Amino acid sequence: MHHANLSRSPAPTPVIHPWDYVAMRRRAAGLSVGQVAQALGGRAYERHLRLLETTGMRISIVADLNVAMPFSDDVYRQLADLPPHQHPRLCQRCGWDERTEVPDCADGFTSWSRDDTTICTRCERQAAA
Binding site for Zn ion (CB under 5 A): 91, 93-94, 96, 120, 123
Nearer to Zn ion among residue 48 and residue 93 (C-beta): 93
Give me the phi and psi of 60, to 5 degrees please. Answer: -80, 145
C-beta neighbour count of 128 within 10 angstroms = 7
Q: How far is the CB of 117 from Zn ion (least distance, A)?
A: 12
- Local structure of 103: helix, strand or coil: strand
Whole-number minimum distance, CB 57 to Zn ion, in Å? 23
97, 21 Cβ separation under 8 angstroms: no
Shortest reach from residue 46's CB to Zn ion, in Å: 25
Query: Which CB, 40 or 120, lies closer to Zn ion?
Result: 120
CA within 13 Å, CB half, 87 = 19
- Pick the closer one to Zn ion by CB: 38 or 126: 126
